[in-house]
Structure 1
Amino acid sequence: MNSQQDQTAIIEDKSIDYVPEDERHGDARSLFTLWFCTNIAPLAVVTGAVATHTFHLDILSAISAIIAGHLFGGIFLALTSAQGPQVGIPQMVQSRAQFGRYGSLLVIFFATVIYLGFFISNISLSGRVINNVLPALNIPLATITGAIAATLIGVVGYNFIHKINKVGAWIMGGAMILGLGIMLSQPLPADFLQRGSFSLAGWFATFCIGAVWQLSFSPYTSDYSRYLSASEGIARPFLYTWLGACCGTILAFVFGMVAVNMVSGTNDAMVAVRQATGWLGPVLMVLFLINIICHNSMNLYGAVLALITSVQTFLPNWQPGSRVRVLFSLSVLTGSVAVALAASANFVEVFLNLIFALISVLVPWCMINLIDFYLINKQQYDTDAIFSADGGRYGLLNSRALLVYAGGIVVQIPFVENAFFSGPWSGLVPGANISWVISMVVTAIAYPLCCRRYPVWVASHS
């Protein structure tokens, strides 16, 4: 299929296969709108409020921590995104170059669970929001409606996801800036700027939340840049992804924080947003609903690509196309809706806690991925070897990489702080989960020392 046909096809014709250079299209600027719109989400608005209400920072300290955390974490997100045009394959397929054909299955499993967890949680959330906006639709029907809408977007695929976020970035960004203007144009509470105070622990805890937020997207970033031409280089995809992800999330975090500080008597950021933005409040709720559905389509798209990658690992001669992606999407839709409808009322909270706990396994993977691609393999991978039945130059199982990966998870345990477990040293920084920092440092030192080094390889794809 040539480039023009690829762009006009209704449903993306590829799944996990390599995108040849003559089928590449688009501009790196689309990565700004994609990651900007994706991050202006209700969960980001709610999370931003913890800076002042949970960690009791003053407004200016909270803003500085939010900005610093996202700018730092966004570096890793943007570095993974910039790999897409150079390798032309999804992020999880690329993991075979680091861990081997079979070794990559462990990382793919974790990523798939996280994708599915967020997809199920978000369809439950969208069901409740739809029911709130349209009471005539009961929650089960509303849940199914939200799930089908997200699945349809994911099924159409790459181009449609980019286009819908390009439009959404202007609408969501404009509405949120307008809402912020409405809030700040009102008489501010007398202690608005003086409420709370700076504390190193609170500042660092807020910083960590922002950094980990960005890191959590890294397993599927090249999924949305792999159709860009390799001539885009590294700098442009990096810069547009970094700016989009950081600007969108910082805006959403600050928006939620300002709202809860404007409205007294509530710690619920969404309730505060609706009250503080006046006539715009109901409109924002509808826009947030659309945003949940659009964002959830990316969870579905990533989960399906990861699932297909898992199966194709054992069937090296299998070349799954668009029909396979559609069938996998429908299977994920059916299973996820069944789980969401059967779940208890507190399922979303419990499940999100589990998913956030699992995010700790992404930090050592991210460091291994970046060091291997940028420093060891000099920004090039042998795509033929990645799809080879015997793993080619990367082998079936890279035991050294897996050992470093396991070590990067284990070293976090004493410092972990989550809903299920608190390590003996988890209180070193009160309220902050610093385990990811320990893992990042240990993995960054261990991997270059232990990794398998290959001769310099020159790309053969045109």
Structure 2
Amino acid sequence: MTEPASSPESIERRTIEHIPLDERHGRARDLFTVWFGSNIMLLTIITGALSTTVFGLPLWAGALSVVLGNVIGAVVMALHAAQGPQMGVPQMLQTRAQFGSYGSLLVVVLVVFMYLGFFASNAVLGGQALAQVTGLPTNVAIVIIGVISVVATIVGYRLIHKVTAVLSVVAGGALIVAFVWMIGVNGVPAETWHSGGFTWAGFMATLSVAALWQIAYAPYVSDYTRYMPRDTGQRAAFWGTYSGCVLGSVLPMLLGVLVGAALPDDDTLAGLSTLTHGVSTGIFAIFAIGITATNAMNLYCGTLSTITVGQTFFPKWKAGASSRAVVSVVLFSITLVPALLSAEDFLANYANFLALLLCVLIPWTAVNLVDFYLLRHGDYDIDALFERDGGRYGRFNWIAIGCYFAGILVQIPFLSTTLFTGFIAESMDKVDISWIVGLAVICPLYYVLMKPKLRAQSGHDPLRAGSAV
């Protein structure tokens, strides 16, 4: 009898290959817990705290911008969820259908760096929390957090789903306790509730950061839905993902907004510890352990993307569990350097990382979603995705590549970061709307340019071209 590719008792055998229909499992509601549980962590709290610390907003404005950013950004993120059940392959492998087998490497390599950036950020915060609870040196705690994440990555898909389901209850409970303790038991300083200091630049910067938090998940949403039955349904996959990710992100971000408003001059983790005095040890322990699951998700997807790069050059390579293990260890080793070096100046580095990341992700997600929903309606030749010459999709799709670079260029004048501010953003009091402009320009541009090409290739209506399996 053949061992299942991903059973509770075994290590997942599959990596980037197509998941056969007889190995599909799970329900759309499982998507709620994988995104709800994985988002309740220290990095989410830090992200929310940017609104009242780095961007200087009052509590009400920070809370409003955080909610709006997540609600808007999650629409883009959750639309990718249906691609996994439909196609049965990882998210970045699908990019070959839009950019070509070699053209896709541009985006895939950037996404690997994104995963490593989030892994390093999480490792720093998890290590700091673990060090605070245990008394271990911070660098040792960072390594421990990373090693646990590597183990979960090696075991694979089912373990990650199960752990995040548990975290939905445990970490969710710790989050509620933190709110109650801060407001109802210890109390917060009176100046926490002040209403002055609002700026549109700070509001839009916070909204953009919150939206990016959601959009940054777009390159690996399908990695956690590709084992689901093909008849899961687009609406069910969307709402399961959307609701879990929005609630799981908004609640801890609001906690961060509150911490930042109460103690704006303190380090966010130190402020959280002060405001939850009496239960801080338990809360930090739960969040430190929970961050390993989230980091396992980052490393797991980074590993699949790295294997995708390798398989592009060596199409006969059949990467399995051992390959995933080796690649995950290598990627973990690479992230240790920035994690250990950035621990002392984490907040400023993280804010800049988010701003630059948004600029390069927006055009990719625009091309991917327009191609999937409006041009091909989910109909793809899966076998062609694994061919070195790209099969029907070719090695390079210059329309997609051109739109990608155009998407980056069109955003530059609207960017507002500590590293660079575009001339339009400067004239708008440094309000950053670059990601909105990127989506508004690239979505229709790619559709208009790509539709005639598909029609010419197929000889009939491009909306019906292609084969899903």
TM-score by length of 1: 0.92
User: Could you say which residue in structure 2 is the equivalent of 1:337?
Assistant: 336
Q: In structure 1, how many angstroms separate the alpha carbons of the residues matched to 2:60 and 2:337? A: 45
The answer on 1:252 being equivalent to 2:229 is no
What fraction of aligned residue pairs are identical, expressed as a percent?
36
Matches within 5 A, 1:36-435: 36-135=36-135, 137-186=136-185, 189-190=189-190, 192-196=192-196, 199-261=199-261, 263-264=262-263, 266-337=265-336, 340-341=339-340, 343=341, 346=344, 348=346, 352=350, 355-356=353-354, 357-430=356-429, 432-435=431-434
CA contact (8 A) 1:3 1:25 kept: no
Give how far 1:441 is off.
Answer: 1.1
Q: In structure 2, how many angstroms separate the alpha carbons of the residues matched to 1:52 and 1:233? A: 40
Listed one character per residue, the Cα deviations across residues 240-293 of structure 1 (whole Å, up to 9, x for unaligned) are: 1101110011101111222333x4574433222222223222211111211222
Q: Using a 3 Å threshold, how does the CA distance of structure 1 residues 51 and 344 change in structure 2: closer, same or farther? A: closer
Listed one character per residue, the Cα deviations across residues 398-444 of structure 1 (whole Å, up to 9, x for unaligned) are: 01110011100111112222232222222344454322122111111
Give how far 1:3 is off.
Answer: 8.3
User: Could you say which residue in structure 1 is the equivalent of 2:30?
Assistant: 30
Report the 3-state secondary structure (helix = DSSP H, G, I; strand = E; otherwise coil) of the residue aligned with 2:294: helix
Q: In structure 1, how many angstroms separate the alpha carbons of the residues matched to 2:342 and 2:90? A: 34
Listed one character per residue, the Cα deviations across residues 75-130 of structure 1 (whole Å, up to 9, x for unaligned) are: 01101122111111001100000001111000011101111222233334433333
Listed one character per residue, the Cα deviations across residues 55-80 of structure 1 (whole Å, up to 9, x for unaligned) are: 45443343332211111000011011
Listed one character per residue, the Cα deviations across residues 33-71 of structure 1 (whole Å, up to 9, x for unaligned) are: 111122212122122223344545443343332211111
Q: Using a 3 Å threshold, how does the CA distance of structure 1 residues 31 and 2 change in structure 2: closer, same or farther? A: farther
Q: In structure 2, how many angstroms separate the alpha carbons of the residues matched to 1:460 and 1:441? A: 29
What is the identity, as a one-letter code, of the residue corresponding to 1:169?
S
Q: Using a 3 Å threshold, how does the CA distance of structure 1 residues 58 and 204 change in structure 2: closer, same or farther? A: same
User: Could you say which residue in structure 2 is the equivalent of 1:12?
Assistant: 12
Give how far 1:338 is off.
Answer: 5.1
> After alignment, is 426-435 or 273-282 more displaced?
426-435
What is the identity, as a one-letter code, of the residue corresponding to 1:411?
V
Q: In structure 2, how many angstroms separate the alpha carbons of the residues matched to 1:345 and 1:6? A: 36
Report the 3-state secondary structure (helix = DSSP H, G, I; strand = E; otherwise coil) of the residue aligned with 2:196: coil
Q: In structure 1, how many angstroms separate the alpha carbons of the residues matched to 2:246 and 2:429? A: 25
Q: In structure 2, how many angstroms separate the alpha carbons of the residues matched to 1:101 and 1:77? A: 23
CA contact (8 A) 2:87 2:468 kept: no
CA contact (8 A) 2:415 2:433 kept: yes
Q: Using a 3 Å threshold, how does the CA distance of structure 1 residues 460 and 105 change in structure 2: closer, same or farther? A: closer
Give how far 1:11 is off.
Answer: 1.0
Q: In structure 1, how many angstroms separate the alpha carbons of the residues matched to 2:371 and 2:94? A: 11
Give the gaps of 5 or more residues in structure 1: none
CA contact (8 A) 1:44 1:249 kept: yes
Q: In structure 2, how many angstroms separate the alpha carbons of the residues matched to 1:54 and 1:4? A: 49
Q: In structure 1, how many angstroms separate the alpha carbons of the residues matched to 2:347 and 2:264? A: 23
Report the 3-state secondary structure (helix = DSSP H, G, I; strand = E; otherwise coil) of the residue aligned with 2:228: coil
Q: Using a 3 Å threshold, how does the CA distance of structure 1 residues 271 and 424 change in structure 2: closer, same or farther? A: same
User: Could you say which residue in structure 2 is the equivalent of 1:438?
Assistant: 437
What is the identity, as a one-letter code, of the residue corresponding to 1:446?
L
What is the identity, as a one-letter code, of the residue corresponding to 2:357?
L
> After alignment, is 276-285 or 59-68 more displaced?
59-68
CA contact (8 A) 2:99 2:398 kept: yes
Give how far 1:447 is off.
Answer: 0.4
What is the root-mean-square deviation of aligned Cα atoms in Å?
Answer: 2.4
Question: Paired residues, what number?
Answer: 458
Listed one character per residue, the Cα deviations across residues 151-182 of structure 1 (whole Å, up to 9, x for unaligned) are: 00111111101100000011111111122122
Report the 3-state secondary structure (helix = DSSP H, G, I; strand = E; otherwise coil) of the residue aligned with 1:385: helix
Give how far 1:199 is off.
Answer: 4.9
Listed one character per residue, the Cα deviations across residues 324-361 of structure 1 (whole Å, up to 9, x for unaligned) are: 111111222233335545x3664645753563213311
What is the identity, as a one-letter code, of the residue corresponding to 2:400?
A
Q: Using a 3 Å threshold, how does the CA distance of structure 1 residues 62 and 359 change in structure 2: closer, same or farther? A: closer
> After alignment, is 343-352 or 413-422 more displaced?
343-352
What is the identity, as a one-letter code, of the residue corresponding to 2:410?
V
TM-score by length of 2: 0.91
Report the 3-state secondary structure (helix = DSSP H, G, I; strand = E; otherwise coil) of the residue aligned with 1:7: coil
Q: Using a 3 Å threshold, how does the CA distance of structure 1 residues 203 and 250 change in structure 2: closer, same or farther? A: same
> After alignment, is 296-305 or 205-214 more displaced?
205-214
CA contact (8 A) 2:192 2:258 kept: no
CA contact (8 A) 1:10 1:156 kept: yes
